[in-house]
Chain A
């Protein structure tokens, strides 16, 4: 494949929101606050909820497994710190609402875990068998760290029915404001490459692409150089893709690089493709080489209302409040705290919400940034301008679906393929009438799910 430095690879639809990455893109990954208490959610992934393996009052070690499930699609959770279980209580989760978390209080004042993992010089992927890698990945509690949190083991494990042939490493980071993946690519390059090799081995993919948006030339440069230096990285290519939101959506990335469509409502393994986020790949290396489970992650804390925006390496379970306090939040200026970025992130009301494995950023927006019309949620009637149709990367008819949901015509919404919406928010972003199109679609999906539960077909 002929790869130029300009990203020609792209998909149709999409939008170009202001990037606002300059706030944090030069900020090195640094240790986060030293927390006294963490709340580790029992469900941080897609799939079965973990059941707690410890009881109130038990002492736990950093890295100890504290929750697990027997289901295939699930991932265990581990304690990030040494301490004592204070309680098993309800905490807010951005998507699931109130759900169970294990609250751990630390007793020793030992230094927090540093982001210091180094790939040993004698790292050799042939030392590990595919089964071994999958097992460690499962035990380490790895999930997709880019957003949805699909258990990584389920993704990479070989399936004799559908052999996997392409592995795509997602370094797009198309969401505005967020730079954690970018920093990981710059700073943890060797670790990512080790993780890619391990994932490639485990999944049996022969082709590996690292998709990076062409607004990050430095990352493309560094990754390509590291690939050249590492010698045995045949078949791994860093591919610049066009800078456009939602390029980092896995369906869009597959479309851009492989020119293939994932069947609607399906997942990439159905066409023999695995997509892993760069943070996940780095975590795979850490888990397999050093046998460290996923207990910490890099979070971008960003927004104009933050005094010290940056990329912080924090224990999973840290509350948003602790993190914001550490970074210096000006509360009078902030209007909206979002887990994730402004496009796909979810605004939270409860600052006690803990960071989970999938929280890549905490973005604090100010009132002026949201725009007075959007802030007041002043919606005007849809003028059928068709902009949402053109922006939709999934080629849907967002306004039709949204109006169907609004009028409680769920069957119409289904006929217009509500289920294939990836909730990227492009339609809401472009709507001149300020209609929360994506919001209606999300609501419709929830209604449909409830309906199906009540009345099985």
Chain B
């Protein structure tokens, strides 16, 4: 778990750089309240303290990184408590939960405080009027749509998706775009993901499956109608997809155990994300797709049973 925290460090640093105090306050609030929630649950259930596995800290960080920077601190605290109590502890603590706790908390916040969860502050490090995005009157100067939300709006207003310029595309790599705290900087996420892969904290199967499924799906859509759909690289680099591919979908507790199962799980996450992004109403689908596939994990595990070396014994 310590490795996951280290892997998340670049993303946290990027968040701190772009969103300054907002980011630090939110991360601190989430981590502290997740830890407090777990401690309280153990106290009430009269169970031994389980904080030393650091899973509550990881949940807190991931939740914080998937929140919009302008979210009030009280909302973050509510989300954290929900994550830990309903997302994890009611199932019996670490290892027994079905859903990714951070995503449970985020879903709760999205459903309860829809407006707060979709106002995006422009990174403090750049000019408030995002230079790359045409000054649409649908956007005011203080808040800024995420690239995904913006492209969706653009398509709705029949502007065509290719307005999304080169410059904006580059900006997603460094993170100078609107979006959730930790979702914006592609480089930071890639560094963290690479670290986890090298440390073998995660296997490459799930990230690769998620990314390639997304890429293929988006690629097909783009080939069919390049005016209505943005190009596939954009889908890979924007929104929570990378955070999801490396840090959320790879949560071992809620992902399948077998290799084949991991492929199915990852492809499922990628495809559902794209369905929601392209067809659905929400601009971003990572959260729901992870939860949906989490729910399917026991089934996947049952379906892809391992066959012992030498074939199944005939009992």
> Contact string, A42-73, partner B, CB cutoff 8 A, digits 1/0?
00000000000000000000000000000000
Q: How large is the interface on B (under 10, 10 to 19, 20 to 34, 35 or more residues)?
A: 20 to 34
User: A382–B257 contact, CB under 8 A?
Assistant: no
Task: Provide the bound-state CA to CA distance between A299 and B259, in Å.
Answer: 41
Where chain B touches its partner, the secondary structure class is loop
Point out the residues of chain B lying under 8 angstroms from A393, CB to CB: 309
Q: How large is the interface on A (under 10, 10 to 19, 20 to 34, 35 or more residues)?
A: 20 to 34
Which of the residues A251, A380, A385, A386 comes within 8 Å of B53, measured between beta carbons?
A380
Task: Provide the bound-state CA to CA distance between A144 and B206, in Å.
Answer: 44
Of the listed stretches B89-97, B107-115, B124-132, B230-238, chain A binds: B89-97
User: A384–B308 contact, CB under 8 A?
Assistant: no
User: A265–B306 contact, CB under 8 A?
Assistant: no
State the Cβ distance, A395 to closest chain B Cβ, in Å.
Answer: 5
Task: Provide the bound-state CA to CA distance between A397 and B261, in Å.
Answer: 13
User: A384–B315 contact, CB under 8 A?
Assistant: no
State the Cβ distance, A128 to closest chain B Cβ, in Å.
Answer: 34
> Contact string, B70-96, partner A, CB cutoff 8 A, digits 1/0?
000000000000000000000001111
User: A395–B252 contact, CB under 8 A?
Assistant: no
User: A416–B305 contact, CB under 8 A?
Assistant: yes
Point out the residues of chain B lying under 8 angstroms from A265, CB to CB: 313
Task: Provide the bound-state CA to CA distance between A381 and B50, in Å.
Answer: 10
User: B305–A264 contact, CB under 8 A?
Assistant: no
Task: Provide the bound-state CA to CA distance between A144 and B252, in Å.
Answer: 41
User: A386–B311 contact, CB under 8 A?
Assistant: no
User: B252–A263 contact, CB under 8 A?
Assistant: no
User: A389–B258 contact, CB under 8 A?
Assistant: yes
Q: Is A261 an interface residue (CB 8 A)?
A: yes
State the Cβ distance, B255 to closest chain A Cβ, in Å.
Answer: 7
Where chain A touches its partner, the secondary structure class is loop
User: B310–A261 contact, CB under 8 A?
Assistant: yes
Known: A381-B93, A383-B94. A263 touches B310 (CB 8 A): yes
Select from chain B the residue with minimum beta-carbon distance to A385.
B252
Among B232-264, those with CB < 8 Å from A are 252-253, 255, 257-258, 262
User: B309–A261 contact, CB under 8 A?
Assistant: yes
User: B309–A255 contact, CB under 8 A?
Assistant: yes
> Contact string, A257-289, partner B, CB cutoff 8 A, digits 1/0?
000011111100000000000000000000000
Known: A265-B313, A399-B257, A417-B313. A389 touches B94 (CB 8 A): no
> Contact string, A370-382, partner B, CB cutoff 8 A, digits 1/0?
0000000000111
Point out the residues of chain A lying under 8 angstroms from B258, CB to CB: 386, 389, 397
The 6 closest A-B pairs by CB, nearest first: A381-B95, A261-B310, A264-B313, A385-B252, A420-B308, A395-B309
